[in-house]
Amino acid sequence: MTIKEAQELLEAWVAKNDIRHGELTRMALLTEEIGKLARVMALRYGEHAGGPRLRNELSDEIGDILWALIGVANQTGVDLTAALIGALERKSREAEEARQDTGR
């Protein structure tokens, strides 16, 4: 599935299920999902590492973050494919500048 297809799939799901949220509510939902991932990561990799069940929770939370992020993008008219390409270009320039600054 492409990123564009994922955006279209979520938009169809939202329309079918008639689930509409404002932009700030969508952002709050994304933030909540990131917090849940942080909890799972801390339990899995932190000082009090947990059991094997956390592998599924990790996948679930990352999926929920992706779902929420696509929702934010759709609500605000952001093409995630273009946004990712732009981020990769910016990160590449930053990495090149860092290499030049360190003489590598």
**Which of 11, 56, 65 is closest to 36 using CA atoms?**
65
pTM: 0.84
pLDDT digits (tens, 9 = 90+) for 38-54: 998 888 888 766 666 66
Does 2.60.40.10 match the CATH number of domain 3-78? no
Please, which residues have CB within 8 angstroms of residue 26's CB and are 6 or more apart in sequence?
Answer: 68, 71, 72, 75
pLDDT digits (tens, 9 = 90+) for 1-15: 999 999 999 999 999
Interatomic CA distance for residues 79 and 96, integer angstroms: 26
Residue carrying the six token digits 């069940």: 53
